[in-house]
Each structure stands twice: as C-alpha cells, then as structure tokens.
C-alpha cells in the first residue's frame, strides 16, 4: 500500500537503494552504523516536507547529530570538545556516503546567509551532474581555462550579447568616458596579445588587451602609449577552481546527454551559474592594468588618474 503512494513510494525506493550501497560498499567501516542511521534519518525527513517530497530542503550535519542522537565509539577519547568531534565525524560520514553512492540521490543545498549546508534525498538525481562537472574540470587544459576566463570577462564587461567587431576574433569596440574632460573616447577591447589582433578599421584612440592567464602568449611589448594590457594578478586556487567548474559545465552542456536532459549551465543546483558569477567577481578583484612603466587597478583608467602622457589617448 505505501509503495503505491506517490508521496511515499519514491522515498522508500531511494532509501533502500542508498542503504544497500552503504551496506555493501561503504569506504569507512568504522562509520558504517552511523551512515545507516543518517540515511534512515534523511529518508524520514524527506517525508516531513509538507507533502512535497522533491523540495530541496534537508538537514545539516549538526541537526542530524542532535535529532538522531548519533554516537561514535571512542569520540570522547579524542581530547577535544566531544560535541565538536562528533560533528566532524558526522560531516565525514556524510561525505563518505556521497562518495560511496557516486553522488546519486543525495544533494546539498547552501543555507543562505548561514555557513554550512543541508543534505537531503534528491529523488530524481539518478545522475550526479556535479560529480561529472568536477571530473571534467580535473582534465581541462590551460587553453580551456583561458576560454573560461574570457567567458567570465565577457560577463563582467557586459559583452555576452554583442557581436564581435571582426568575424573570427574576440574584439569589440569600446567606449570610455574621460571624466575630467566630460567626453567619450572610442577604442577596442581584444582578448589576446597584440600579435594576434586583427587589423580593425578604422583606427581608434586606444587598445585594451586581456592577456591569457593560464597559457600567456609570447609577444613584444612596444610600450605604445595607446595600449593597455590587462593581466590576472594573484591567480589562486579558488579562482582556478571556479573557472574550471564553469568551463567544465559549458563543455558538458554541449554533449548530447546534457542537451537531451535539459541540463544546461545553471541547472545543476545552480552551481555552474554561481561559478561564473564568482569567477567574474574574483577576476574583477584581481585584474591589473599595465601601461608603459605603470601597474594600476583598471578602475583607475576612466577616472583621470593616469599621467598626462598616458591619458592622452583618452582614458
């Protein structure tokens, strides 16, 4: 009777699948009893969400620790606060459950402004798209990461819907207000180095180059007063990770499986879209501009802070 109930049957089916996988393949035997209780607890929680068993709402590790009265033998001998040590054990168990089942049927959701995340049974998650993104991200080349970087910059510069000025090249006309003179000057934005730039006509007042951060090309800087080079300074693991996830999601979105299932960037728990936003935001913080003998924040280019010789092109 219960299995035929559409608000109960899917939960029972997924709960049994998860319990069997943990029983047969859990990678941390010492935590297996706790893992089984956690799955049972998440299954019960899935039935308490007001009749909607698909809503992305779950329980945090701390809530599971307290409401299920979880216990791990030997936790009191670790020497720290038993409650904190037990919370760490629960978090470890949750991660191992996700790893054991390859991310299927279990999802995580952020807690808004709060720190941490909640876990819940995701009854329709028979394929772990986030795991696919992470796996693809690990194998990306520097060229792919550079393309992702340019995608984030296009978002930052609001050029996502604008056609390239020269077909086959990532170059756009760009207008900057010279605030001190209250006039606008027109130039070009280009993704790449000067030796790769097409001969855009007509000539303009300035040329802004965004240099590839992961596989920078070799070129000669001729110290021209109308050229500005934008480089990503202080590249860290965080921005590389977000760019890699964004690039992997874009790559997977072009595959037949993701197209057929409607899994486009931004639809797998919103993660690729978040990665694009974070990558663009971090790029905004880390970009540096280089003029002859200068190293500046790009925000200063349009505020009349350059020396007279550099400001001549119209910044």
Burial of 296 (0-12, 13-18, 19+ CB in 10 A): middle
CA dist., res. 272 & res. 136, Å (int): 13
| 3 state DSSP class of 292 | coil
Q: Give me the pLDDT at residue 197, please.
A: 80
| Entry pTM | 0.51
- Reduce the DSSP state of residue 142 to 3 states and report it: helix
What is the residue-level pLDDT of the chain in tens, covering all 315 positions?
677 888 899 999 999 999 999 998 898 899 999 999 999 999 999 999 888 999 999 999 999 999 999 989 988 888 889 999 999 999 999 999 988 887 889 998 887 666 678 999 999 887 766 777 888 888 889 998 998 888 888 877 776 666 677 776 788 888 888 888 888 888 888 888 888 887 767 788 888 889 998 988 888 888 888 888 888 877 778 888 888 888 888 777 776 555 444 444 444 444 444 555 555 555 555 555 555 555 555 555 545 444 433 433 333
User: Residue written as tokens 């809530």?
Assistant: 63
In this prediction, residue 285 carries a pLDDT of 55
DSSP tag of 296: B
Order of strands, sheet of 207-210, starting from the edge strand that comes earlier in the sequence? 171-178, 183-191, 207-210, 227-232, 287-290
The percent helix, strand, coil of the chain (3-state, each to 5) is 45, 15, 40
Domain ranges (residues) in the chain: 2-126, 135-311
Tell me the C-alpha distance between 92 and 109, whole Å.
Answer: 17
């Amino acid at each position: 009777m219960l299995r035929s109930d559409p608000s109960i049957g899917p939960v029972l089916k997924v709960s049994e699948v998860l319990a069997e996988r943990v029983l047969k393949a859990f990678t941390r035997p010492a935590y297996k009893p706790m893992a089984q209780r956690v799955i049972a607890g998440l299954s019960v929680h899935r039935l308490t969400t007001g009749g909607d068993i698909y809503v992305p709402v779950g329980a945090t590790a701390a809530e599971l620790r307290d409401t299920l009265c979880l216990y791990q033998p030997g936790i009191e001998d670790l020497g720290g606060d038993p409650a904190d040590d037990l919370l760490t054990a629960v978090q470890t168990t949750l991660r191992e459950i996700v790893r054991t089942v390859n991310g299927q049927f279990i999802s995580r959701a952020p807690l808004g402004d709060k720190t941490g995340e909640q876990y819940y049974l995701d009854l329709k998650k028979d394929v772990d798209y986030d795991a696919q993104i992470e796996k693809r991200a690990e194998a990306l080349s520097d060229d792919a990461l550079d393309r992702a970087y340019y995608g984030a910059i296009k978002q930052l510069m609001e050029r996502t819907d604008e056609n390239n000025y020269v077909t086959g090249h990532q170059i756009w006309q760009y207008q900057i207000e010279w605030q001190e003179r209250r006039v606008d000057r027109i130039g070009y934005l280009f993704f790449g180095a000067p030796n790769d730039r097409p001969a855009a006509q007509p000539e303009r007042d300035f040329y802004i180059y965004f240099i590839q951060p992961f596989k920078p090309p070799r070129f000669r800087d001729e110290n021209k007063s109308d050229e500005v080079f934008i480089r990503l300074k202080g590249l860290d693991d965080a921005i590389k990770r977000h760019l890699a996830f964004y690039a992997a999601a874009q790559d997977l979105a072009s595959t037949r499986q993701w197209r057929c299932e409607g899994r486009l960037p931004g639809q797998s728990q919103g993660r690729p879209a978040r990665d694009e936003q974070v990558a663009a935001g971090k790029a905004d913080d880390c970009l540096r501009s280089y003029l002859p003998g200068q190293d500046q924040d790009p925000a200063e280019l349009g505020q009349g802070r350059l020396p007279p010789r550099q400001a001549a092109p119209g910044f």
